[in-house]
């Protein structure tokens, strides 16, 4: 069992086929018993990302509707949702300033960092931060997180 935190750039690969999709999907293998954490803002970002792909013409409207529907179902059972508390917001503000991150990226990193601190503080292995955003991965590494990029997995 491994604990993962997936940001939106990684999680969307479970619902839209692109580089890294097979690898992201493998993290959900029932036999592995992995815990998958996502920030509460991820729900908005995934719906927006799927919808943008429809507008760009990279997926059809029916495929996008099916992907959004599946995501909403999975959201109820497959993910541990990290709430965006005042502590996370304050940490995100500092991370945005320190690493020059976009707002939601800073929230993603702050949420992952909070979970990581909780796990380590309770004698558990650290979380693995999964993102396809190189700038965010650099920031996560500098914050001491273990990082993997799904785009590095075919």
73 token code pair: 């179902």
Q: Which tens digit of pLDDT belongs to each residue from 35-76? A: 999 999 999 999 999 999 999 999 999 999 999 999 999 999
Using the predicted structure, report yes or no on whether residue 93 has a pLDDT greater than 80: yes
DSSP state of 108: H
pLDDT at residue 154 greater than cutoff 90: no
pLDDT of residue 71: 98
Supply the CATH classification number for the domain 3-152: 3.40.50.1010
For 125, the 3-state DSSP assignment is coil
């Amino acid at each position: 069992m491994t604990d993962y935190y997936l940001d939106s750039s990684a999680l969307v690969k479970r619902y839209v086929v692109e580089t890294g999709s097979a690898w992201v999907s493998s993290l959900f293998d029932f036999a592995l018993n992995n815990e998958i954490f996502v920030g509460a803002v991820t729900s908005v970002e995934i719906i927006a990302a799927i919808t943008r792909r429809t507008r760009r013409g990279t997926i059809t409207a029916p495929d996008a509707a099916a992907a959004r529907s599946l995501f909403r179902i999975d959201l109820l059972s497959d993910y541990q949702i990290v709430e965006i508390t005042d502590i996370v917001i304050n940490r995100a503000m500092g991370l945005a300033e320190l690493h020059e991150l976009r707002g939601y990226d800073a929230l993603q990193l702050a949420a992952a960092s909070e979970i990581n601190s909780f796990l380590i503080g309770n004698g558990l292995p650290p979380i693995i931060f999964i993102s396809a955003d190189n700038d965010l991965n650099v920031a996560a590494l500098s914050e001491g997180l273990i990082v993997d990029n799904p785009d590095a997995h075919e």
